[in-house]
């Protein structure tokens, strides 16, 4: 059950970490993550467990930079990669709340370049792409054409350019019939936000999400000071962790914010986002989303279509949703929603327990980041802490 919300004044006090009971499984999280670092699986990690009223656990272990022996800190910044996707979904649903669009709208109503999309061989699809298809990865869009260049590495193409380019690529399947994880589809939603809001995607998120929630370290283009706090990304090769460049470039000047995966953030900022979701779209008197929008985003929208990277999953609008808890999600409630990132980051909200967990690491080369042993251990201990 969702824990009863406390008065605003008391919530401010609880925003700091409430000490866990001596026998709480929360006390086992940091040692468990330290074990992963001692075994050379991770350079370091930041973990958070919280509820609608505040933070129950927040710890940092290991190193931000192994060579420099620079310790991981609670305010270390991370490339959260595809954990950006639900935030893009939030931007779209804000516009739904504003009356600017409906999830069922044909995409071409707002982005005319999609009026003539086609399947391989030139065949027209049986129905138009809808906005909801992009939100659920069921649109059938292909990959960016090679002539666009290194869209994510150089980040030198605008969302407008990318939207027009992807509209000319043949669809891989009929819209709404299959699920295929699609970065260009989420980027297209970013362009949709720009067109309907009259603002850049970055400016819209800043005004409507980050500033109201006081997410001061969440950005597509970190400052020089923020870059000094950015965790290095590692891969494991020949039994050792080695620094590894990522596919996501981080130039000082960007044209492409990558709505599908370009954000940098930190634990304390993400806490505010997930507490807002647990509060039905509002935090500390500032409403970001309507309760209806939160409910629509976080319920299964994909029916019986197989989705996700682990068993038992479905998709809502921007969020992955646990339909049948099993495997790495077996300890979570059905209806738990969240998202992972390419570099191992994970965050999941269990509304039935009123609980959220955040795992921040920077690790390439995991066999399946969504099924990582780090994620599983964190979730097991978090859920055990609230069981009667």
- Average pLDDT on 75-90 reads 98
Whole-number pLDDT of residue 247 = 87
Q: What's the chain's average pLDDT? A: 94
Q: pLDDT band at residue 8, thresholds of 50, 70 and 90?
A: very low
- What distance lies between CA 50 and its chain's CA centroid? 17
Residue 99 lies in a domain: yes
The answer to whether position 135 is within a domain reads yes
How confident is the model at residue 64, as a pLDDT? 98
Higher pLDDT, 245 or 16: 245
Confidence of residue 18 (pLDDT cuts 50, 70, 90): low
Residue 220 domain-assigned?
A: yes
Phi-psi domain of 149 (left: phi exceeds 0; alpha: psi -120 through 50; beta: other)? left
| Residue 12: predicted pLDDT | 39
pLDDT at 17: 63
CATH of the domain at 327: 3.40.710.10
Q: How far apart are CA 201 and CA 256, in angstroms?
A: 9
* pLDDT score of 195 more than 80: yes
| CB atoms near residue 239 (< 10 Å) | 6
pLDDT of residue 321: 98
In a domain, 343, yes or no: yes
Does residue 369 lie in a domain region? no
For 106, the domain range is 79-353
Q: What tens digit of pLDDT does each residue of 251-264 get?
A: 999 999 999 999 99
In the chain, the number of structural domains is: 1
Residue 324 lies in a domain: yes
Answer yes or no: is 17 within a domain.
no
Q: Is residue 309 in some structural domain?
A: yes
Is the pLDDT at 67 greater than 80? The verdict is: yes
Which residue in 265, 232, 263, 262 sits closest to 153, CA to CA? 262
């Amino acid at each position: 059950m969702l824990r009863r919300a406390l008065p605003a004044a008391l919530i401010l006090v609880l925003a700091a970490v409430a000490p866990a009971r001596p026998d709480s499984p929360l006390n086992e999280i940091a040692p468990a993550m330290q074990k992963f670092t001692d075994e050379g699986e991770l350079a370091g990690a930041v973990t958070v467990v919280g509820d609608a009223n505040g933070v129950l656990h927040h710890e940092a272990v290991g190193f931000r930079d192994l060579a420099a022996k620079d310790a991981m800190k609670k305010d270390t910044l991370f490339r959260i990669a595809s954990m950006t996707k639900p935030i893009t979904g939030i931007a779209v649903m804000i516009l739904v709340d504003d009356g600017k669009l409906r999830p069922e709208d044909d995409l071409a109503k707002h982005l005319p370049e999609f009026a003539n999309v086609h399947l391989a061989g030139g065949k027209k699809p049986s129905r138009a792409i809808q906005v909801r298809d992009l939100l659920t990865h069921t649109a059938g869009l292909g990959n960016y054409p090679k002539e666009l260049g290194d869209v994510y590495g150089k980040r030198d193409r605008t969302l407008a350019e990318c939207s027009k380019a992807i509209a000319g690529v043949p669809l891989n399947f009929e819209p709404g019939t299959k699920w295929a994880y699609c970065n260009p589809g989420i980027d297209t939603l970013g362009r949709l936000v720009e067109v309907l809001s009259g603002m850049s995607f970055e400016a819209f998120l800043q005004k409507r999400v980050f500033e109201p929630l006081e997410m001061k370290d969440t950005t597509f283009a970190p400052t020089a000071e923020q870059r000094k706090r950015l965790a290095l990304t590692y891969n494991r090769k020949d039994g050792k962790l080695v620094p590894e460049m990522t596919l996501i470039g981080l130039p000082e000047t960007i044209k492409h914010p990558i709505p599908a995966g370009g954000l940098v953030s930190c634990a304390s900022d993400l806490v505010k986002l997930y507490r807002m979701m647990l509060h039905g779209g509002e935090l500390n008197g500032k409403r970001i989303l309507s309760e209806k929008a939160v409910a629509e985003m976080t319920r299964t929208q994909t029916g019986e279509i197989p989705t996700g990277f682990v068993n038992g999953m479905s998709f809502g609008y921007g969020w992955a949703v646990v339909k049948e808890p099993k495997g790495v999600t077996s300890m979570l409630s059905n209806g738990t929603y969240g998202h992972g990132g390419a570099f191992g980051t994970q965050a999941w909200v269990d509304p039935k327990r009123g609980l959220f967990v955040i795992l921040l690491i920077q690790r390439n080369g995991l066999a399946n980041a969504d099924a990582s042993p780090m994620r599983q251990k964190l979730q097991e201990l978090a859920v055990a802490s609230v069981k009667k």
